[in-house]
Every structure is written in C-alpha cells, then in structure tokens.
Amino acid sequence: MIEPDHSYAVEARGISKYFGGVAALDGVDFKVHWGEVHALLGENGAGKTTLSNILAGIYRADSGEIAVDGLTHEVRTPAQAIEAGIGMVHQHFKLVETMTVAENVHLGWPDTPTLVSQRVLVDRTNHLMEEIGLHVDPTAKVWQLSVGEQQRVEILRVLARGAQILILDEPTAVLTSHEARDLFKVMRDLVSGGRTVIFISHKLNEVLEVSDQITVLRDGVHEVTRSAEGATPRELARLMTGEERTLEVEHREITGETVLQLEGVTASNDRGVVALSSVDLVARSGEILGIAGVSGNGQTELAEVISAMRRVDGGTITVDGEDVANGLVRKVTDLGVGHIPEDRIGVGIVGSASVKDNAVLRHYWTEGLSSGVTLFRQAVVDFATRLVEVARVQTRSITATAGQMSGGNQQRLVARREALLATRVLIAVHPTRGLDVLAAQEVQTAVIGQRDRGAAVLFISDDLDEVLLMSDRIAVMYEGRIMGIFDRVDADREAIGLMMGGHTLEEAMAK
C-alpha cells in the first residue's frame, strides 16, 4: 500500500465543471497546505464559489479528483465533505433565524443527544467559543444578531462539526472593516492551531494582509499559486483581470452639456448600512461614464437613487437641472431617464406577464399608447412587435410569458425598452452579465447608440475590460465612495484595478 502524503490539506487535480456546456472551471489544480490561510482570488465569475462548492460536496466536478490530507476522498455530499474535515461558510447564511445561537450551532450535529436542555447546548456552545476565540451570546436569537455576529455563528457551526479545513466564501463582503479585522485575527488563530483556512475574496488588500498563499483564478482557469510574501497588488490585479476585447467602440471628444449631476449623495442599502458616502458625479450629453468597481460597493444603490427607486439620506441629484432625489419614478421617467437594472427578473421583467406587457411596462405614458387610464390595444401590439423586432428578441409570440425566454432575450428586451425611454440619461447596471458574447454585444450596441443620440450614459460593470472598452470617462467605486475619475486616455488599467481593491489614487499611481 502506498503511504498517503499528508503534506497537503487539500489537493484538487484537474477539476472541471460545466454549466449548460460552459466551463465554470477548466482543469483547475488547487493545492493547499495544512496550517495556512490560502486565498482564492479572482474577479466575479472566475469560478471561486464553484470550486469551493465542489470541495464542500455541494456540486460534483465533471472531472478531476480531490485528495484530503493525502487520501483521495469521495466528496459527493456535504456530509462526506464534513467527514473529510471540510466545512464551508457560504455568502448567504443558512441559519434558522427563530432559533438561538446555541441551537443553531448544534443543529444537525450527530453528537447532539436528541433531547437536551437549552442549558446543555449553551454550555457546549460557550465551551466551543472559548476554545476557538469567537464570541456571540449563545442565548440570543439569530434574527437579533448583526450580520457579523451571524457569520460567527456560521463559523462556529462548521467548526463544531470538526472541520479542519474551513472555506470562507467572500466573508468580508458583509462586514465592516472593523469586523473584517476581527475575522482576520480568528483566521490567523485557526491556522496557528494547525487548521487550514481557504479565504475567498476579490479584494487585493485583504488577500495580501491575511494570506500565506494566493491562488488566482481567471475565467475558470488556474492562473498562479504563489506565496503572498513579495506579491504586489499590481501583479495580482493583472493576473485577475487579463486582457481581451471584441467590440470596437469609437470614442470622441465630449462637448455635450451636463445632464446628470450628483452632489454629496449619501444613501443606505437595504440593511440600513451606508452604501453611498458623499458621491459627486457629473455625466454629460453624449458620453459614457463608466463606473468600475467590484460588485457590492454601492453601484446598485447609485443606480437606484438616480432612478428614484431608493431614497437618499443627503445630497442632491439633478437631471437637466431638475431635482429628482427622493422623487417619483414616474417623474424621473418623464425626464428621460432609463434604467437597465441588474436584477432583470426582479426589477426589469415581470416573468409571469407576456412579452407584450413587458415591452410596454414602462411606456404606459408614452403618447399614442394610452389616454388617461385607457390603453390602446392595437397601438400596444404594434409597439411591442416593433420593440421585439428591433431588439431581435426571440420569442414564439408576443403573448408568450416573458419568464420563459432565455436570459439573453429578456435582457435584450429590457435594454431596448429602457434605451427608448433614456433620451437624457441611461443607467446600465451590469447589463451584459451572464450573456453570451453575441447577446452582450447587442446590449452594448444599444447602449452606445443611445450615447450617440445624446444621452448621458452611466455604465456600471464589475468587468474592468468591459468598462475600459465602453467608457469615455471612468470613475472607480469602492465601499460607496468615488476613488477617482479618469479620462479615457489617462485610464491605466492596473491603477484602476488597484483602486477597485481599495487603494487611493495616490497609492495606485505610486505602485
């Protein structure tokens, strides 16, 4: 018998995973030693979560093998993964809100006797917290806890099951910077006790701060595994983002007047946490102002405050000099503001309604389609038919339900519909996310067309290549702030990449 090699905590070889024929992971090798914090770094969509889900037994790889502590393990279910010592804390927590911390920590734990008192559960939880150095009130109900505390409960829950290899998927995304520091300390303590932590992030600063080793994934491919020591943000940014492009976009000098202006805009996200801090922005007629940044840094909220879908806590927003902050969606629409939202199913498209109704969804007030409360049926049919044609939406019929169309067709429909409304301002939020190359180019073309007709376009994307391709000017957003604004000619992709990771303009230029 061959002796197992215990030097690696995890050794994944040649892992591939396909979704609908598209490779999310393409022959990825991933080796992690015992006793290290190993960062899995990559842009959105690079495959980090997919790889983690495979290690945690949630997805099955289409090919490749996984050895845990030198033994080739079957990790086909979360139970098998935990048996092999692998536990994962997901981006979206899986706690039972109405139960206490102690109950959640013990939930589904096979060692838990079936009938135990709260007292026993609380004692055991306290014991575990002492051992691990993570503290939360064990008697509190989960719904009473902050997000940071809930995350601690998740970590405790996984460690309570004996996980020796802890996978944290973008754990800092929901934390304040102070809470993140605390988490990093816990991570360092865990590895100094011999465990292994796989830390998923797209924030360069954090990765360099807390990790021993760094593996970079890009588009499902393993780019590099290297020591964090001596690694530079510039090098990592380059490995993360790569370079490629397809569409040619013409960029002319911008001479148009100011259309959209934000001054000192502050707003909160759905959890009441500050999402925009004192944002100043100007967008002029005939330009695409790109907003570069990793998702979740305030871009969604920025789009929403402009289209009056979210209240501002302070500051002013004007469209052609008219104040629109905290106004009515109808008024903003009348001023010529269109919005291609991030969440096309939740916001852009009503899946259960027909293609026709979706086509006119935001055009009810358009002249010729209605008079007062009466819709002109034939005019609506004509309008929808034209929109479907122009947008090249593939559907059996305009009376078919919109939810049955592919994501690409839904997005084409929303993009054209909103572009028609957007005579003055078009806000496009991750408009090509999840689309294949052709559908993405059609949406990009619709956006460029609207710019060329004189709209001021706010183009929000977490794909830096796409922002560089599309934009006449580029603003970088991080944690709700504008870190800097570049004219296209001065835009340095590596500097922007660094600023997306939280570096200031000065730091980024010095590196």
Ligand X SMILES: Nc1ncnc2c1ncn2[C@@H]1O[C@H](COP(=O)(O)OP(=O)(O)O)[C@@H](O)[C@H]1O
| Cα angle 245-417-440, degrees, rounded to a multiple of 5 | 15
For the bound state, the minimum distance from the C-beta of residue 408 to ligand X, rounded and expressed in Å, comes to 13
Rounded CA gap, 262 and 54, in Å?
A: 44
Question: Is position 502 an interface residue for ligand X (rule: CB under 6 A)?
Answer: no
Nearer to ligand X, 46 or 360 (CB): 46
Q: Which is nearer to Mg ion, 49 or 471 (CB)?
A: 49
Nearer to Mg ion, 40 or 319 (CB): 40
For Mg ion, give the closer residue by CB, 198 or 508: 198
Structure tokens of 164? 């020796």
Dihedral sign, CA of 409, 412, 415, 418? negative
Spell out the alpha helix ranges (H) of 391-479. 407-421, 437-452, 464-470
Measured distance CA(511)–CA(503) in Å, rounded = 10
Least Å distance, CB 168 to ligand X, is 12
Quote the tokens at residue 297: 């840094």
Identify which of 186, 179, 198 has the alpha carbon closest to the alpha carbon of residue 89.
198
Which one of 37, 49, 259, 456 is in contact with ligand X (CB under 6 A)?
49
**Tokens 């995304």 label which residue?**
173
Residue 47 or 341 having the CB closest to ligand X: 47
Beta carbons of 89 and 78 less than 8 angstroms apart: no
Q: What is the pattern of x (binds Mg ion, CB under 5 A) and - over residues 34-53? A: --------------xx----
Does 151 sit near Mg ion (CB under 5 A)?
A: no
* 222 is a contact residue toward ligand X (CB under 6 A): no
Among Mg ion, ligand X, none, residue 143 binds (CB under 5-8 Å by kind) = none
Percent helix, strand and coil across the chain, each to the nearest 5: 35, 25, 35
Q: Given phi > 0 = left and psi -120 to 50 = alpha, else beta, which region is 43?
A: beta
- Choices 6-14, 38-46, 128-136, 415-423; region in contact with ligand X by CB under 6 A: 38-46
Q: What are phi and psi of 380, to 5 degrees?
A: -65, -45
19 binds, among ligand X, Mg ion, none (CB under 5 to 8 A by kind): ligand X
421 contacts ligand X (rule: CB under 6 A): no
Q: Which of 15, 36, 42, 153 binds ligand X (CB under 6 A)?
A: 42
The bridge status of strand 425-429 relative to strand 337-340 is parallel
Alpha-carbon distance values, 418 to 218, 233, 337 (Å)? 32, 38, 8
Question: Which residue in the set 38, 47, 145, 279 belongs to the binding site for ligand X (CB under 6 A)?
Answer: 47
Nearer to Mg ion by Cβ, of 43 and 301: the residue is: 43
Shortest gap between Cβ of 202 and ligand X (angstroms)? 8
Kindly tell me which of 46 and 491 has the beta carbon lying closer to ligand X.
46
Residue type, 135: H
The single residue among 5, 6, 19, 311 that binds ligand X, judged by CB under 6 A, is 19
Distances (CA, A) of 2 to 30, 31, 70, 74, 107: 22, 20, 11, 18, 38
Binders of ligand X among residues 50 to 89 (CB under 6 A) are 50
Output the smallest distance, CB 347 to ligand X, in A.
19
Number of residues forming the site for Mg ion (CB under 5 A): 2
Using CB under 6 A as the binding rule, the residues of this chain from 424 to 443 that contact ligand X are 434
CB 219 to ligand X: min, Å: 8
Q: What is d(CA 91, CA 170) in angstroms, rounded to the nearest whole number?
A: 6
Residue 50 contact, options ligand X, Mg ion, none, Cβ 5-8 Å cut-off depending on partner type: ligand X
241 makes contact, choosing from ligand X, Mg ion, none, with CB < 5 to 8 Å by partner type, with none
Nearest by Cα to 51 from 297, 219, 233: 219
C-beta of 70 vs 78, nearer to ligand X: 78
State how far the Cα of 48 lies from the Cα of 199, in Å rounded to an integer.
Answer: 10
The DSSP symbol for 249 reads -
d(CA 412, CA 422): 15
Q: Could you tell me the smallest distance in angstroms from the CB atom of residue 49 to ligand X?
A: 3
- Cβ atoms of 121 and 138 within 8 Å: the answer is yes
CB of 240 vs Mg ion, minimal distance in Å: 14
* CB-nearer residue toward ligand X: 17 or 195: 17
Q: Name the pairing type of β-strands 196-201 and 165-169.
A: parallel
Shortest spacing between CB 169 and Mg ion, in angstroms: 6
Of 198 and 337, which has the nearer Cβ to ligand X? 198
Q: Choose which of 12, 28, 32, 46 interacts with ligand X (CB under 6 A).
A: 46
Least separation in angstroms between residue 311's CB and ligand X is 30
Residue ranges that bind Mg ion, judged by CB under 5 A:
48-49
Residue ranges that bind ligand X, judged by CB under 6 A:
19, 24, 42, 44-50, 434
